[in-house]
């Protein structure tokens, strides 16, 4: 990838912070940073994932960062497409680093390699009227960590490749891919982004046992809609749409 033009052009490096997303939110409130500013933390003491889950990461081993974007061109009803664009950027970054492995996006916000979690995404949007105003895009990517808590279905670049990867090189790669997909968003290429997401979607087209609203069911994953809902098909042919809190993947 070529060097990015504005994503990551300003880097705020922190040795230790509660959460890079929290820091970014304060920066937006107090300093009006330029779009594309990225906050990179060596250590997060209260890193967060979806549904208020914690993001566990070993200090100085992984890439934990938050981007400040200003997608004022994006209607609030289309905000999931931003999530899709970010997921594709992370997925492409991992694919370039691990070209022989299967990299997939697990709806709604994880990236997997060979079925194990390597990255998570947390996006926090603020609105002005019917459009987005600011978006804080938090990304945690396991790079050089090789030990994870038992029971955690996780992996890292080093665990798979067998060698350390320089964190700044990963950041520059991620900057480039994020800029690529963000520019596609600006151009209104929503259907293209959604198509790419579904082409890389974990579980698509396969029957699997998912927990749906608390009950284990055998379903096929049809894909993700523009609204961000996951479409499932039962063995009797009926289809339903679901929000992320309704689904458990049972990995």
CATH number of the domain to which 61 belongs = 3.30.930.10
One domain for residues 126 and 27: yes
Residue 22 — pLDDT band, cuts 50, 70, 90? very high
One domain for residues 138 and 224: no
In degrees and rounded to multiples of 5, residue 119 shows phi and psi of: -155, 150
Residue pLDDT, tens place only, 186-218: 999 999 999 999 999 999 998 999 999 999 999
Residue-number span of the structural domain to which 65 is assigned: 11-199
| C-beta separation of 142 from 57 below 8 A | yes
Residue 200 to residue 100: CA distance in whole angstroms: 15
Residue 49 has pLDDT above 60, yes or no: no
By C-alpha distance, which of 12, 4, 87 is closest to 50?
Answer: 87
Residue pLDDT, tens place only, 57-114: 788 999 999 999 999 999 999 999 999 999 999 999 999 999 999 999 999 999 999 9
One domain for residues 156 and 46: yes
One domain for residues 116 and 211: no
Residue 38 to residue 210: CA distance in whole angstroms: 36
Tell me how crowded residue 184 is: count the other CB atoms within 10 A of its CB. 17
At 150 the pLDDT is 85
Residue 3: inside a domain: no
One domain for residues 60 and 158: yes
One domain for residues 155 and 91: yes
- pTM value is 0.94
Tell me: cis bond preceding 46? Omega within 30 of 0 counts: no
- Counted domains in the chain: 2
One domain for residues 125 and 218: no
């Amino acid at each position: 990838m070529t060097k990015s033009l504005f994503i990551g052009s300003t880097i705020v490096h922190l040795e230790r912070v509660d959460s890079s997303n929290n820091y970014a939110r304060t920066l937006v409130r107090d300093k009006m940073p330029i779009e594309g500013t990225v906050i990179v933390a060596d250590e997060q003491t209260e890193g967060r994932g979806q549904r208020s889950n914690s993001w566990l990461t070993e200090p100085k081993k992984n890439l934990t960062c938050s981007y400040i974007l200003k997608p004022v061109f994006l209607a609030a009803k289309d905000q999931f497409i931003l999530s899709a664009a970010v997921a594709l950027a992370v997925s492409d970054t991992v694919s370039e680093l691990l070209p022989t492995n299967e990299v997939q996006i697990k709806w709604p916000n994880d990236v997997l390699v060979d079925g194990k979690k390597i990255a998570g995404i947390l996006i926090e949007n603020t609105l002005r009227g019917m459009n987005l105003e600011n978006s804080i895009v938090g990304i945690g990517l396991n790079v050089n960590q090789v030990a994870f808590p038992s029971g955690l279905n996780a992996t890292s670049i080093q665990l798979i490749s067998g060698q350390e990867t320089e964190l700044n090189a990963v950041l520059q790669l991620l900057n480039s891919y994020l800029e690529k997909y963000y520019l596609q968003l600006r151009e209104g290429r929503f259907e293209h982004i959604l198509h790419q997401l579904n082409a890389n979607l974990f579980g698509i087209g396969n029957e699997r046992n998912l927990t749906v609203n608390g009950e284990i069911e055998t379903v096929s994953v049809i894909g993700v809609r523009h609204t961000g809902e996951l479409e499932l098909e039962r063995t009797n042919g009926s289809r339903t749409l679901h929000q992320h809190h309704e689904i458990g993947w049972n990995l």
